[in-house]
Every structure is written in C-alpha cells, then in structure tokens.
Amino acid sequence: MHEARLMHVAHAISKATRCEQNLFSVSLNPPEHVVVSDDVFREAATRVAVKLGLNNQPCAIVVHEKKGRHHSHVVFSRIDGDEMKAINLSHYKLKMREIARDLHLDHGWELPNGLKSYGQGNPLNFTLDQWQ
C-alpha cells in the first residue's frame, strides 16, 4: 500500500479512539561522513518498532537527501487495530537513546558526545542522600 494512503487509513482508524496523537515519527540521521544504504534505514526502523512495541504496526519510511546527506523519516501508527486503542510509548526517549547508541556501536560509527557521556554523571555531584 502506498505510504500516504497507509497514513490516511491509520488516521481514519484513530478516529474510533480518543487518541490525540495517533502517529509516532522519528528521524534517522547517520553521522555526516557516513553514507548508508536503504537497508540500514529499514534495520533502524525495525529496531525502533520492536523496542517501542510498534512492530506489526503500519508505518511509512521516507529516505531522502538534504544538503548532500541521506537521512530518513519513519512514521508509525500508534493505534492497535485489534484492540482499538493507542500503544503506550512509555520511556520512548530513553529507548531511542539506547537504539541510537547501539546503531553507532554496531556500525562502527563514532559516538557523539551526548551518547558517550550519557549515564556518566559528575563524580563530584551530591548523591540524593547527601543533598537531602
């Protein structure tokens, strides 16, 4: 099914629910110096779907070039058609950070500073007990 039609169908199904944000979108941006294949974008989209519980959900993937860089946008329907309710995306930011880190490590890409230092707090910071 064509991606635009697929998203129209997902929107129509969402009208049977009270969900106000029936779609979840993500941009997939590899490092600037890296050229990746469409297969890598599909693999990343699959990881996102599995990690967030959106596997088997309708989705659209658009790969394009902007300023000489290939990147991708993926849009998932959050509505479970069998249950007619939205799939909860709890802690999605943490899960997306894990996916980004894993993709960088798996493909041998240099980790951006934000992923290198995540979870490595300043040892000079107070603990919660000390602060209280």
Whether 115 is in a domain gets the answer: no
Q: Which pLDDT does position 53 carry in this prediction? A: 96
Amino acid making up residue 116: K
Considering the chain, what percentage of its residues have pLDDT values greater than 90?
43
Please state, in angstroms and rounded to a whole number, the distance separating the CA atoms of residues 63 and 38.
Answer: 7
Domain residue limits at 56: 3-109
Look-up: residue for tokens 């941009």? Answer: 27
Question: What DSSP letter does each residue of 40-91 carry, written as one string?
Answer: HHHHHHHHHHHHHT-TTS-EEEEEEEETTEEEEEEEEE-EETTTTEEPP-TT
Total structural domains in the chain? 1
Whether 85 is in a domain gets the answer: yes
Q: Which pLDDT does position 109 carry in this prediction? A: 92
Please state, in angstroms and rounded to a whole number, the distance separating the CA atoms of residues 83 and 58.
Answer: 15
Whether 24 is in a domain gets the answer: yes
Whether 117 is in a domain gets the answer: no
At 2, the pLDDT band (50, 70, 90 cuts) reads low
Residue 99: CATH number of its domain: 3.30.70
The pLDDT tens digits of the residues spanning 54-69 come to: 998 989 999 998 888 8
The pLDDT tens digits of the residues spanning 97-124 come to: 999 999 999 999 998 888 877 655 555 6
Alpha-carbon distances of 8 from 26, 58, 93, 96, 116, rounded to whole Å: 18, 11, 26, 26, 39
**What's this model's pTM, rounded to 2 decimal places?**
0.77
What's the length of the chain?
132
